[in-house]
Chains A and B, each alone.
Chain A
């Protein structure tokens, strides 16, 4: 403390001069119009550049929170998709139309966000685990989709966790929809080995499947919502000897980087299933 006071006493003259000069300088900046605008324009630009570099550094620190927000927002947006709702066809009633009494729109698909906590890709039958369970609304048989495409199906659930059968599993089967051909045929299967590639089997040889076409989830499926990407055709070679083509496909989901996923509940699952079981001729 004394050192500081002594230093100030020894340097009182330059400090006084500096003080007076600073007063004058602030007067200039405050009241001279040109200097004022010059100073504020440049200082604003300067502080903007500092802010920018600061956020460049600090934005990585809040990425986790940002991810959670984005996940929530995506979830809400997915609930609003048109394909989640029953299409409403207007009835042909020429005599009387009551526009006030419309049925509330029924939602077909409900989405739940979840985080993958364990994952394998190198076994013959691969499963991954979610940190959401029965208490959060996850049920057996729900579809699991990643932000990029189809990921699997929930097969067992506990109170707070769920086990999902990945697409990379010998028991996983899915019939895709190819929009270019309007084709709902074949089975997507993974035959082991490279986790990026699988095969689309049992497609008739007359179908003109080409490289680069997208395989989407079909609207015939009772589990997956329609229009979710499944894979992209990598190699399609027709052999004339066989009835069915075997097409190599590249999965849309990167299973090594599975982090946040959505569980999709089909609210009409039981209702449709009832048609299959009851009163079969």
Chain B
């Protein structure tokens, strides 16, 4: 219960941070970091998978409401969580994590490479869907891919910063 409240609190704070600080800073055409993905990355791994989807939907809708876009972030969050479930099932050893007493993948639980692959893949999926919906045309394929790559790096850096500060 406390964990759920904690996640809800983090979600609200991160959403407001995203909407009122990071979205307001103009970092250039290609770079749109979205560090609110932290919330989805720290969800407990043995959570109900449908609960995951609805959590992602509601959280994405919250971001959408705050940043004035309708459905874009929600759609990309749903897509990301959908793939997150499959990636965790295939590539991450559930039981060893639980034996370590951790509820989600941390940097030191499996080491840097695993964490980087995992996080980068999920962020890239999210950003690809998000930018595809934003540009909405096959003519801008190059723009979509370029902003996906650059923003993925930016988001990853911000997430690492967050993890350093709060030691999550």
Chain A residues with a Cβ under 8 A of chain B: 12-14, 16-17, 20-21, 23-28, 30-32, 34-35, 38-39
Q: How far is the CB of B131 from chain A (nearest CB, A)?
A: 12
B154 at the A interface (CB under 8 A):
no
Residues of B within 8 A of A17 (CB): 53, 78-79, 81-82
Given contacts A16-B50, A16-B53, contact A24 B136 (CB under 8 A): no
A35 near B78 (CB under 8 angstroms)?
A: no
Q: List 14 A-B contacts (CB under 8 A).
A: A12-B50, A13-B49, A13-B53, A21-B75, A21-B78, A23-B74, A24-B71, A24-B75, A27-B64, A27-B75, A28-B69, A34-B136, A35-B133, A38-B137
Chain A: minimal CB distance from B70 (Å): 4
Residues of B within 8 A of A25 (CB): 71, 75, 133
CA A27 – CA B68 in complex, angstroms?
12
Taking a contact as CB atoms closer than 8 A, the residue among A20, A27, A30, A35 that contacts B54 in the complex is A20
A24-B72 in contact (CB<8A): yes
Residues of B contacting A23 in the complex (Cβ-Cβ under 8 angstroms): 57, 71, 74
Assuming A13-B85, A20-B56, what are 10 further A-B pairs, CB within 8 angstroms?
A: A13-B53, A17-B82, A23-B71, A24-B57, A24-B74, A28-B69, A28-B71, A32-B69, A34-B136, A38-B136
**Chain B: minimal CB distance from A269 (Å):** 72
Complexed CA–CA distance, A23 and B73 (Å): 12
B57 touches A31 (CB 8 A): no
Distance, CA A13 to CA B69, complexed state (A): 26
The reply to whether the CB of B60 lies closer than 8 angstroms to some CB of chain A is yes
User: How far does the alpha carbon of A30 sit from the alpha carbon of B74 in the complex, in Å?
Assistant: 14
Closest Cβ–Cβ distance, residue B93 to chain A (whole Å) = 21
- Chain B residues near A39: list those with CB within 8 A: 136
How far does the alpha carbon of A25 sit from the alpha carbon of B130 in the complex, in Å? 11
A32 with B70, Cβ < 8 A, contacts A13-B85, A20-B53 known = yes
Which of B50, B60, B72, B78 is in CB contact (< 8 Å) with A32? B72
- Return B68 CB to nearest CB of chain A, in Å: 10
Closest 4 CB pairs of A and B: A27-B71, A24-B75, A31-B70, A24-B71
0/1 interface trace, chain B 45-60, chain A, CB 8 Å (1 if under): 0000110011011001
Q: Which residues of A contact B56 (CB under 8 A)?
A: 20
- Among A12, A17, A30, find the residue whose CB has the most chain B CB atoms closer than 10 A: A17
Chain A residue nearest to B137 in the complex (CB): A38
CB <8 Å contact, A27 and B50: no
- Bound state CA distance, A27 and B69, in angstroms? 9
- Alpha-carbon gap, A12 to B53, bound state (A): 12
Kindly list chain A residues whose C-beta atoms are within 8 Å of the C-beta of B85: 13
Q: Give the chain B neighbours of A26 by CB distance below 8 A.
A: 71
Question: What is the bound-complex CA distance between A13 and B81, given in angstroms?
Answer: 11
| Nearest A residue (CB) for B77 | A24
Per the bound structure, the CA–CA distance linking A256 and B70 in Å amounts to 67
State A185–B167 Cα separation when bound (angstroms).
113
Residues of chain A contacted by B50 (CB below 8 angstroms): 12-13, 16
Interchain CB contact under 8 A, A30 and B57: no
A30 and chain B: residue at smallest CB distance: B70
**Min CB distance, A249 to chain B, in Å?**
62
* B82 near A31: Cβ-Cβ < 8 Å: no
Contacts of A38 in B (CB 8 A): 136-137
Cα of A84 to Cα of B140 in the assembled complex, Å: 66
Q: Which residues of B contact A12 (CB under 8 A)?
A: 50
Residue from the set B60, B71, B81, B85 with the largest chain A CB neighbour count within 10 Å: B71
